[in-house]
Structure 1
């Protein structure tokens, strides 16, 4: 009888110890699972934030444009752009000592801005002016790249000789400093040049090949506002590497 009770007590003790041993294991598993879920949520949140940052597009403004192009021009090893129209192609070479305007033109070319814009102003025996368009997509491209102006750079000794690539000033009101409109450019066709423009506009390059094409564009018929009767699109502008 005593022996039977001894075995009964022993079995009960073993059962109690086994039951107590199960609880910590079960609690640990639950805790580990909860912590893993928390870690997963934290990681997913961090990934989402990084994705949002990557999706945020850089936009140029009057406040950051000069600093941006100052850094951009440091690594530029190219200075030629080829422009193709229905009347043919011509190539311009950009002046290295007009860094902001050069960098701006290369940057916009690489962004594909000039593609499908037009030579929207043609003045006989004077200039052809390009980079604008009455198409909605041109305004959209400008909005995506940014709204900004560039300071003039007229004291480098470059003049408005025939074939000179120059940048017009903005038509914005309250622009006493003749800040340049970065999306547009004009090319002088006058013989030997249009020197009355010196000091007011920034020459930043010259046509080195295809001046006969520039002359063809200058000879198209125009209507009111010097806009060609038949649009002259820039089909493609590409950096010559």
Structure 2
């Protein structure tokens, strides 16, 4: 009697264990850490450049780069039209840096992210991880200011954005820029931001950008991505 009871009990326990094992979900696979290393592609992360550029060495780097890459014109394309931009030769570091980023397709990952009608339209950044990764690879380098008396803030010029805090040397962001859309005098920006070029064809495009609907953060509600290519 006890033996039969024990066998019956054992069968019940085995059956319950079988049921539980069938209902339990399979163990989840551990995801590999999305680690950034310098290879062509690692877990969908791309190496955009193998050059080592920093705030400390950028002057030397772009002085040499500028000697080999002397182009001064680029074409900026948007859904609202195209602009031809001439980069100034007397702001050589900003010119060379802009050409470098254009040739490495950085700006093609960005958009116009700030619009202040009657003042400026600003671009060269985005909320994309691709843009962030690109800038990280280049150490978010800052350029020395290149102020010039004969390069004032006037309608149609392109100038470098910069941080106003903890930046006594007024170093420029190499990635972010703005166009003056205003017809009014903007001389208060002279010797605060480096002007390094101007629109020579298609200036009406910045007016179209300035007319776009924007949100409370001055970001266009309908994104305005850009493509930039070197002309000559």
2:147 counterpart of 1:150: no
Structure 2 partner of 1:239: 230
Give the helix-richer structure, 1 or 2.
1
Displacement of 1:155 in angstroms is: 2.7
Normalised by the size of structure 2, how large is the TM-score? 0.76
Structure 2 partner of 1:140: 133
Question: Over residues 69-114 of structure 1, what are the superposed CA-to-partner deviations in whole Å (9 max), with x where a residue is unaligned?
Answer: 0111122331001011111111100000100000010000001000
Normalised by the size of structure 1, how large is the TM-score? 0.73
Q: Measure the CA separation in 1 of the matches of 2:225 and 2:78.
A: 6
Q: Measure the CA separation in 2 of the matches of 1:77 and 1:64.
A: 20
Structure 2 partner of 1:113: 106
2:209 counterpart of 1:217: yes
Which SS does the other structure have where 1:224 is aligned?
coil
**Structure 1: unaligned runs, 5 residues or longer:** 1-54
Aligned counterpart in structure 1 of residue 58 of structure 2, from 57, 65, 86: 65
Which SS does the other structure have where 2:75 is aligned?
strand
Displacement of 1:229 in angstroms is: 1.2
Which SS does the other structure have where 2:204 is aligned?
helix
RMSD between superposed Cα atoms in Å: 1.6
Q: Measure the CA separation in 1 of the matches of 2:105 and 2:60.
A: 22
In terms of Rg, which structure is larger?
Answer: 1
Structure 1 partner of 2:220: 228
Q: Measure the CA separation in 1 of the matches of 2:197 and 2:187.
A: 15
Alpha-carbon spacing, 1:91–1:141, altered in 2? closer, same or farther (3 Å): same
Structure 1 runs of 4+ off > 6 angstroms? none
**Structure 2: unaligned runs, 5 residues or longer:** 1-46
Question: Over residues 198-219 of structure 1, what are the superposed CA-to-partner deviations in whole Å (9 max), with x where a residue is unaligned?
Answer: 1101000000011111110111
Structure 2 partner of 1:204: 196
Structure 2 partner of 1:176: 168
Q: Measure the CA separation in 2 of the matches of 1:77 and 1:177.
A: 27
Aligned partners of 2:54 and 2:138 also within 8 Å:
no
Which SS does the other structure have where 1:125 is aligned?
coil
Displacement of 1:192 in angstroms is: 4.3
Q: Measure the CA separation in 2 of the matches of 1:239 and 1:84.
A: 12
Structure 2 partner of 1:82: 75
Q: Measure the CA separation in 2 of the matches of 1:193 and 1:226.
A: 22
State the number of aligned residues.
185
Structure 2 partner of 1:161: 154
